[in-house]
Structure 1
């Protein structure tokens, strides 16, 4: 009696098997984004084209982190702790905070300005306002970081002077009392200016001769606000402290430098050129 032929076994294409496997396992969830809020004044804030090359140190900050960190710069020109609160700029941040987020807090330039009563904040009130920022950030299981006000350029006999003493001291006092990480940007920025020297430190600030830039046809002699170089240097100081202090959940997301012999990405419309070792 003749034997019946055995039925052919179906062979599934590999691509179809992978498709079925994906359907059962589901898409991989994207990594959770960590928001890094910045609150403060014009030394940090985003700038508009009409004020370029003025640059706040918060503007280049995102380039120092990987793509899981979102820098949300809420700093505003001319604001003190008092006016930042009075204008309801703080509460929307509190409402949006998620566990693990960070708030970097740097005020002082406008708080100390007694010549401008619309923004001046006495040191005692300044401390209370910083305390409010810290406590309400922690209430949302987020991390506050206090930053002393970045220095103004002010040399005397070749030495960079301290320009924010009472308000830097008040910031450090709140940090100690509340056991909050402190970035002493006042001290570090003074040391940086001293390294550059009285003349070369002008490169860090909005110092322009007449005709240097169309936004400032008559020039600019500004020892408070930064050039692009100055903003990047100040951001580097902040990032260096984030790394040195091993801030949890944040220091591990710093952007990693390219390997020594890596080929940099080509500009649009250009071919990448190999790097010579």
Structure 2
């Protein structure tokens, strides 16, 4: 699967299809951060990250509303399509939900087959687990069946699978309830101007958590020989300057969200 990026002009592109834990966030949501927002920290100039993730999307809605079609209309031979869904697929709303071993894998096949038909490289990535420790200090599993379904589909289709779900379980359990909190959006009153009354969100990351996930993804892409090792940088860098994490202004975020769709649905 290794590509030297020479199939088209310019750098090789890594397209990201996913939901709110992947998306490049807007300023009004800071410090909420998607791992796709910081993935470029770990790639050199040979690679361009094209983050097409959409907050609130499931594998179903991303496909049905023309976002996958936009990617497939723009992807080139030798590019990559990294796909990560499951969180919203597990929600009860009928228009959003998919069953793990039903519509979920059926929709994911569209990402895999669409990339391959265009001589691009599909990769499947399971989502991370939420910060959902209970009062007894136990970490319940919220979407294990979706991670398993994605893994099984990767075997069936011979597509690389990055198991961020199991890796996050290892991290969160090692860190424990208190030490995992700095990875997620937990703010007290007055701590951030975007959330003057405070905000507790156990599902969405802040820069520390997003960087940890992005680092794992970059590492895994090299470890599985999905991308050339010389493309990946900074894996051993312990910290990044805070100013490196950039949020889009809200208008640019809105325009970009509306632009990266084929207008279906």
Give the CA deviation at 1:171. Answer: 0.4
Q: Which has the higher contact order (CA 8 A, sep 6+)?
A: 2
Give the secondary-structure state (helix, strand or coil) at the position aligned to 2:50: strand
Deviating beyond 4 angstroms after TM superposition, the runs of 4 or more aligned structure 1 residues are: 256-259
Residue of structure 2 aligned with 1:122, choices 99, 102, 108: 99
Once residues 75 and 88 of structure 2 are traced to their aligned partners in structure 1, the CA distance between those partners, rounded to angstroms, is 26
* Corresponding residue for residue 167 of structure 2: 188
Question: TM-score when scaled to structure 1?
Answer: 0.78
Is the counterpart of residue 161 in structure 1 residue 140 in structure 2? yes
Once residues 257 and 55 of structure 1 are traced to their aligned partners in structure 2, the CA distance between those partners, rounded to angstroms, is 19
Once residues 138 and 31 of structure 1 are traced to their aligned partners in structure 2, the CA distance between those partners, rounded to angstroms, is 19
Structure 1's 258 and 130: CA in aligned 2 closer, same or farther, altered over 3 A?
closer
Once residues 38 and 257 of structure 1 are traced to their aligned partners in structure 2, the CA distance between those partners, rounded to angstroms, is 20
Give the CA deviation at 1:53. Answer: 0.3
* Corresponding residue for residue 158 of structure 2: 179
Once residues 229 and 163 of structure 2 are traced to their aligned partners in structure 1, the CA distance between those partners, rounded to angstroms, is 17
Is the counterpart of residue 207 in structure 1 residue 164 in structure 2? no
Is the counterpart of residue 45 in structure 1 residue 28 in structure 2? no
Post-superposition CA distance 1:146-197 (Å, at most 9, x none): 0112111122443433221111111011101001000001000111112221
1:161–1:190: 8 Å Cα contact kept in structure 2? no
Structure 1's 167 and 256: CA in aligned 2 closer, same or farther, altered over 3 A?
closer
Is the counterpart of residue 35 in structure 1 residue 26 in structure 2? no
1:148–1:168: 8 Å Cα contact kept in structure 2? yes
Is the counterpart of residue 90 in structure 1 residue 68 in structure 2? yes
Post-superposition CA distance 1:24-83 (Å, at most 9, x none): xxxxxx984100000010000011100100000101101100011000000000000111
Once residues 234 and 27 of structure 2 are traced to their aligned partners in structure 1, the CA distance between those partners, rounded to angstroms, is 30
Is the counterpart of residue 99 in structure 1 residue 63 in structure 2? no
Once residues 195 and 94 of structure 2 are traced to their aligned partners in structure 1, the CA distance between those partners, rounded to angstroms, is 28
Give the CA deviation at 1:130. Answer: 0.7
Question: TM-score when scaled to structure 2?
Answer: 0.82
Give the CA deviation at 1:118. Answer: 2.7
Larger Cα-atom Rg:
1
Gaps of 5+ in 2: 1-7, 238-242, 244-265
* Corresponding residue for residue 55 of structure 2: 77
1:31–1:68: 8 Å Cα contact kept in structure 2? no
Give the CA deviation at 1:258. Answer: 9.7
2:215–2:235: 8 Å Cα contact kept in structure 1? no
Taking only aligned residues, the RMSD between alpha carbons, in angstroms, comes to: 2.0
